[in-house]
Structure 1
């Protein structure tokens, strides 16, 4: 989903990547604010999410899941650099795009996101987070095994109570209603070979791209302390906090986030 303002040339090109089970739809408030200010915005559906034509349990690998972002960055015109913005699990896809195309990324912004570190497995963030969650953390989420024998994988679908209390507790009620209708089952890819290897992200490529971590201070999913701890694994990362932001920062604080994204892009 790409939108452009008709008022003069865009100042920045923002590429927005959603979190697990969500889609480009969750960026609708931020997309509107940025395009109204004259910026170009590309909000993507990862494979098996949003309006993607494939099912989540048919996505064979994390690279396939991230392909919409990788193809978008690869297709940028010569000399153009985009501002990549990844929310939650979208930070994993951001990292892969930064490693593949470091010269095409002006800055990468991780919004309450899983930001991996160079030289460490990308899955480490998810493994560390799983150590901090109890058996009741996922509440009414449902897990399903795929019906495709070629891909014997498990998908997760967030339940209404989980959405309301872990992700959307400070967001407008209409956005929670939208989420209940729009979320789709998706894989976590924790066992994916690419996420398990140490050498996927390198200091010379991934580590050379400017990184900013936007901490959702009132996140009921992964805590602000956890977000900062993960950011500390990557020296040189800029950390910015947003008060009153739940996990869905783009919905609970859309104006604050949009203003911050433009401020970061202008620096």
Structure 2
């Protein structure tokens, strides 16, 4: 009988969310015999930092960097990034490509190696009507010279565009735990493209969230075509929060992809 290989999954949440958003998926992966790490990015959920303390996307990504630094030299992890977490994955892929066996983008923003890191967000914002953001709040923060803007999902946006197929209890949980985040557009627009030798070296997979009203399936297909991906799967009946609305299907997809 073939011995099952234990893998280490590192789950990276999206904007305004936190490690809590993986609470359904984490035990499923553990029950399948794998090791799982979840984390709060800077100024997210119970992370003690304030958004005002952050100026750059790497500042925001620091907790993921610390996890990657703790990985032994002889171990590789499977990174999973949701929504804006795809960009956190990209920074980790650029910094620690030798420690990553696979990067999975789940309904996520996925940059390329041609354009500056802000390009994928610029395209997303250009294709998304302003009214889609509903009661989401945008506000300046930090020093004026840094041109920083925060984003805070409102209850209507959460219930109608992110969790529209998720249980009501999870919608209530999300509304109670949401914290402001930032896209750090100014910082990302001033950075060089991710490299083919490092970011491009890591094998990539993309899981499309088929009923997504936050990052449309059409835009996800555009990202896949723009960047190039080794493996593509789709959860046809998942909203933006596939780990909440379809955790068992997502778990099986991740186990299949990781093989």
Which of the five TM-score ranges fits, normalised by the shorter chain? over 0.9
**Following TM superposition, by how much is the alpha carbon of 1:57 offset from its aligned partner in structure 2, in angstroms?**
2.8
Structure showing the higher helix proportion among its residues: 2
Unaligned runs of at least 5 residues, structure 2: none
Determine the C-alpha separation between the residues in 1 that align with 2:147 and 2:195.
31
TM-score w.r.t. the length of structure 1 is 0.91
Task: Quote the residue 2:90 is aligned against.
Answer: 95
Task: Quote the residue 2:217 is aligned against.
Answer: 224
Task: Quote the residue 1:181 is aligned against.
Answer: 176
Q: CA RMSD in A?
A: 1.7
**Following TM superposition, by how much is the alpha carbon of 1:115 offset from its aligned partner in structure 2, in angstroms?**
0.6
**Following TM superposition, by how much is the alpha carbon of 1:145 offset from its aligned partner in structure 2, in angstroms?**
3.0
TM-score w.r.t. the length of structure 2 is 0.94
Determine the C-alpha separation between the residues in 2 that align with 1:81 and 1:244.
31
Determine the C-alpha separation between the residues in 2 that align with 1:136 and 1:230.
22
**How many pairs does the alignment contain?**
256
Task: Quote the residue 1:169 is aligned against.
Answer: 164
Determine the C-alpha separation between the residues in 2 that align with 1:206 and 1:176.
34
Deviations 1:152-201 (A, max 9, x none): 63211110000011100001111101000001011111111xx2246341
Unaligned runs of at least 5 residues, structure 1: 1-8
Runs of 4+ in structure 1 deviating by more than 4 angstroms, as ranges, are 147-152
Task: Quote the residue 1:32 is aligned against.
Answer: 27
Determine the C-alpha separation between the residues in 2 that align with 1:135 and 1:149.
24
Determine the C-alpha separation between the residues in 2 that align with 1:124 and 1:265.
29
**Following TM superposition, by how much is the alpha carbon of 1:233 offset from its aligned partner in structure 2, in angstroms?**
1.6
Task: Quote the residue 1:251 is aligned against.
Answer: 244
Q: Is the 8 A contact 2:45 2:179 kept in 1?
A: yes
**Following TM superposition, by how much is the alpha carbon of 1:235 offset from its aligned partner in structure 2, in angstroms?**
2.8
Determine the C-alpha separation between the residues in 2 that align with 1:61 and 1:147.
11
Please say which of residues 85-94 and 257-266 is displaced more in the overlay.
257-266
